[in-house]
Structure 1
Amino acid sequence: MTDGSSLPPLRDVINTYGLRAEKSLGQNFLLDLNLTGRIARCAGSLEGETVLEIGPGPGGLTRAILAAGAKQLIAIEKDTRCLPALQDVSDAFDGRLTVINGDALELDEAELLGGQPAHIIANLPYNVATPLLIKWLNKRHLFKSMTLMFQKEVGDRITAAPRTKAYGRLSILSQWLCHTSRQFDISPKAFTPPPKVVSTVVTLVPRTEPAFPADQAILEKVVATAFGQRRKMLRASLKSLGGPTEDLLVEAGIKPTSRAEELSIEDFCTLARVYAKAQ
């Protein structure tokens, strides 16, 4: 199995193929191979595994995933300028890399993976990171793990605990459906061009079952309503759900004077079940 040592430095690849990062595509290339290796390791052992990567760009993280022993790496790249550089990576790693020119938001992962559980590892374009995460949370049965780089603000929201400023809808959905862990931050200086924000790597491992029983659509509705006016007490912020709001809260064992950020995920699931029963 080749290790890609014959490949030129990433800066040379960028110059050779004229790969100037495009702001419209949310591109910030990570060239530090120590960091890309560290990201790949966050997913655990990749020996013999299938991995899905989104937005590989010139292939820095791609190289690290393949060097870590992935049996098959499927990379989705929207920018056609990057395809020749990625073909070089595929050639250097015995063809274990398959590159698909397409938009990850429109991707049918189930069809692509053909029932083979995979890891996702990606330095996500900031402008589509949250929609992609929500899409994958709803398809979590396809994945063994998701190791994803976000801007720090989004990483904070995914892993936030109750009673913190970052805690909200994304925290609850992510942690209800997955075990989440914050890995490490990456300085803007590590990227070309440097973004204006710090980045954070987060790993999400899908749960076999959600953390607590609740209907997902109802839970999302209750959470969205509660956080829609997060500074208000729940007896006021939940009024738009209709019905006797205070009675619902009391039945769920929640003080009507509580605010959304004070409730645990279990509290929200209990409230969702009570609300569903009242419909």
Structure 2
Amino acid sequence: MEKVRAKKHLGQHFLTDLSIAERIALSVKGHGGVKKVLEIGPGMGVLTDFLLKTDFELYLIDVDKDSIAYLLKKNPELGERIIYGDYLKYDFQKVIKDQYAIVGNFPYNISSQIFFKVLEVRNQVTEVVCMLQKEVAERIASPKGNKAYGILSVLLQAFYDIEYLFSVPPEVFDPPPKVNSGVIRLVRNDVTSLDCNEKLFFQVVKGGFGNRRKTLRNSLKSFQLPEELKSNPLMDKRAEQLDVADFVFVAQQIEASRGNH
């Protein structure tokens, strides 16, 4: 079978190291008792081979026609579970009705968008094990007070417990990326919904980090903060110093003041 050539415009870097592929596959724990796993961007199926040795029912999605053709030849037994499509636009409820885990070597250029999509379907996705740019992996897993901590850290940590598993050097890919990679695991926590208006929470988090050097009092000026919130010591802090509960509190206060007008 002819090898698939990695396409730059799709951000493809194919993993060639079998021990790392196996380690990623074994990092999927099946949180919440899930039996189904979706691999995003399987490429030539190096990780797929190891996932097929697990007890999970495996689904694959790739936006690259060449990869899909290759995988259909290599793993004909998967049949309709090999899906040609863009994960960001695909409605998986048509295919998988129950909960599932996600695994993959995410294309660096769309990894953040994949996570925003995961947040939208968070009650279906109980676990994510993925490889991405090391810097982004560290940011997502970073605790508050850390320079790397950002919007995605807060939004994902609201609904997932996140663990940085291990780092991966560029030379185990074809072609090698210019950066190091990192593997993280997200496990769905018990939070079914936040104790505030979630849309407002997202806006407050984005607003806070939009001017991350400023104090919250200044970075959230456009939200017309109530006086009692303005004088709260929390507002002397910068966004990176707040955890999920702090942002929920700020959103609650803003929401309450709007209700009083």
Common fold: TM-score over 0.5: yes
Q: What does residue 76 of structure 1 align with?
A: 61
Gaps of 5+ in 2: none
Aligned equivalents of 2:80 and 2:53: distance in 1?
A: 11
Work out which structure has the larger RCO, using CA pairs closer than 8 Å and 6 or more positions apart in sequence.
Answer: 2
**TM superposition shift of 1:18:** 4.0
**TM superposition shift of 1:76:** 0.6
Q: Say if 2:37 and 2:102, in contact at 8 Å, map to a contact too.
A: yes
Gaps of 5+ in 1: 1-15
Counting only pairs closer than 5 Å after superposition, residues 228-239 of structure 1 correspond to structure 2 as: 228-239=210-221
Q: What does residue 59 of structure 1 align with?
A: 45
Aligned equivalents of 2:254 and 2:104: distance in 1?
A: 37
Query: What is the one-letter code of the residue matched to 1:194?
Result: P
**Residue 247, structure 1, aligned to residue 247, structure 2:** no
**Residue 123, structure 1, aligned to residue 123, structure 2:** no
Q: TM-score, normalised by structure 2?
A: 0.91
Q: Deviations along 1:189-248, whole A, 9 cap, x unmatched?
A: 11000001111111111223258522211111111111111111222111111244x522
Say which of 239, 242, 248 aligns to 1:260: 239
Say which of 108, 119, 122 aligns to 2:91: 108
Q: Say if 1:213 and 1:269, in contact at 8 Å, map to a contact too.
A: yes
Aligned equivalents of 1:223 and 1:161: distance in 2?
A: 15
Q: What does residue 43 of structure 1 align with?
A: 28
Q: What does residue 171 of structure 2 align with?
A: 189
**Residue 215, structure 1, aligned to residue 201, structure 2:** no
Q: Say if 1:90 and 1:98, in contact at 8 Å, map to a contact too.
A: no
Q: Say if 2:30 and 2:101, in contact at 8 Å, map to a contact too.
A: no
Aligned CA distance change for structure 1 residues 259 and 158 (closer, same or farther; 3 Å):
same
Query: What is the one-letter code of the residue matched to 1:247?
Result: E
Q: Say if 2:217 and 2:236, in contact at 8 Å, map to a contact too.
A: yes
The residue matched to 2:123 in structure 1 has which SS? helix
Query: What is the one-letter code of the residue matched to 1:203?
Result: R
How many correspondences in the alignment? 257
**Residue 26, structure 1, aligned to residue 17, structure 2:** no
The residue matched to 1:86 in structure 2 has which SS? helix
Query: What is the one-letter code of the residue matched to 1:162?
Result: K
CA RMSD of aligned residues (A): 2.0
Aligned CA distance change for structure 1 residues 28 and 273 (closer, same or farther; 3 Å):
same
